[in-house]
Amino acid sequence: MKKTLLFLSIVALCCQNTFAQKETTVISIKNTENTPTINKNIYGHFAEHLGRCIYGGFFVGDTSKIPNTAGVRNDIIAALKDLKIPNLRWPGGCFADTYHWKDGIGPKENRPTIVNKWWGGVTEDNSFGTHDFLNMCELLGAEPYLSGNVGSGTVQELSDWVQYTNFSGKSPMSDLRKKNGRTEPWKVKYWGIGNEAWGCGGNMTAEYYAGEYRKFATFISDWENTGGITRIASGSNSADYNWTEVLMKNIPLNMLGGVGVHHYAVINWNKKGDGVNYTEEQYFKTMKSALKMEELVTKHSAIMDKYDPQKKVAMIVDEWGGWYEVVNGTNPGFLYQQNTMRDAVLAGSTLNIFNNHADRVRMANLAQCVNVLQAVILTDKTKMILTPTYHIMKMYSVHQDAKLLPVSFQSPLYTVNGETLPAISASASKDKNGAVHISLVNVDAKNNNKIELDVNELGIKNVTGTIITSAKLQDYNSFETPNKIVPTVFKDFANKKGKLEINIPPFSVIMLEGK
């Protein structure tokens, strides 16, 4: 009798598991025109004077044997153009509030040096400055986003920088720009008024910073340019909702183009875990931190809605990404880390959140572009590789400036040690040519997930797919195997009478295109 009961128990358990595997998540996508456009600037990037992001990354100097244009690597320019990079934030980060822009103009041999107190205590020779950065942005076809020095700078200094970069008439700063070889202004639109004013930007209170912002913003208006410039306030540290409340309450809306938010996916700030050799539990904790972005954006948006119901002020998540321990043997102040399938899943899920909140989130900047944190590009002397995150950003570029299509579904759960997370992340859009793009992420590290989509309502018949996945969650592209993780054709779906049935492998990101 006991053997019979044991057999029946095993059969019941197997049946239960089979049933669980066959459960299908039904995703509804509304084909409506009354939706916001997904601003291309959500897909922005960040380049700080930190480690090998600028020197040894973007910038190798015009005497380098590595092919370059005015010292900037041609292979990086080509890769970022292929990524359709919409904007690039510079020079920081914490570095911004120690940076004095006049140190980085004029003949390079005459430029003073400073010590980069935030990142490794290295000597900064200022050989990469305003002209180098803004000319590079022109090569990229990207909008520059300059982060101004409020912490150790002056109102006059920042006002002069705006005049130097933007004014076409005769003035002291435009004359200086012309003397330094640039006749026409660059017309920089996006200006950050300080960075992390609550921390490395001055350890200010929200009330004090709001006053400083008003003062600085008053003197950096640009009346010559159509539409003026977009002034962006140094935003909150993750869930500091009081910071957003104080800024929205105390700064007039006509002085405020955007309010920042910074949030990194980190296991524990004191013990961040390895970038490659991590357990499933560590992966789960990283994704739990990353998916908190949904709550952060929702709650910060609710505060902004109280003071700005018409949503004129943009939320700008100008620092986001995964943060782990540095690669063994590298300078801890350089923040050089590898980039695995965990980062691909993190990027895809985060971008879905931004897309779905396109009514308020109108710019974001992945930290950082080259050789730092969740980089899209890694270099080693002459070599350059594209990371899994690069491939996600490129795959998702189809959403840039497309109309958001609202998605609704009840996600299955991903469970580790009794804790749960939503296993499925999704967003959708329709581009100007009528093509529909649906991005799907399976966060679950072990289990496939089945999804059903009604494509009849979307008016599409032909569907193709692309997937980014790998054999192991910890896989990454190395300089020895640079193409271990690349996009491939995805075919594990079937269209049955207008119902698209999709099977998503564990830790994978999929883009479907329908026409």
212 catalytic? Reply is no
* CA dihedral (171, 176, 179, 184) positive or negative: negative
Structural contact between residues 312 and 251, judged by C-beta atoms closer than 8 angstroms: no
Question: With left for phi above 0 and alpha for psi between -120 and 50, is residue 256 left, alpha or beta?
Answer: beta
| 3-class secondary structure, 226 | coil
DSSP state of 175: H
Marked catalytic residue, from 295, 319, 501, 513: 319
Pairwise CA distance, residues 450 & 23, whole Å: 7
For residues 185 and 174, is the Cβ–Cβ distance under 8 A? yes
Lookup: tokens for 252: 């007039």
d(CA 316, CA 46): 13
Both tokens of 159, joined, read 């006002």
HEC letters along 105-164? CCCHHHCCCEEECCCCCEEECCCCCHHHHHHHHHHHCCEEEEEECCCCCCHHHHHHHHHH
C-beta separation of 161 from 58 below 8 A: no
The 3-state DSSP class for residue 494 equals strand
Task: Specify the DSSP element, H or E, that contains 211.
Answer: helix 206-218
Q: Please, which residues have CB within 8 angstroms of residue 77's CB and are 6 or more apart in sequence?
A: 69, 136, 139, 140
Helices marked H in 320-447 = 341-356, 388-396
Instruction: Choose, from 23, 196, 325, 480, the residue flagged as catalytic.
Output: 196
Whether the CB-CB separation of 116 and 95 falls below 8 Å is answered with yes
Active site residue 196: yes
Active centre residues (catalytic): 196, 319
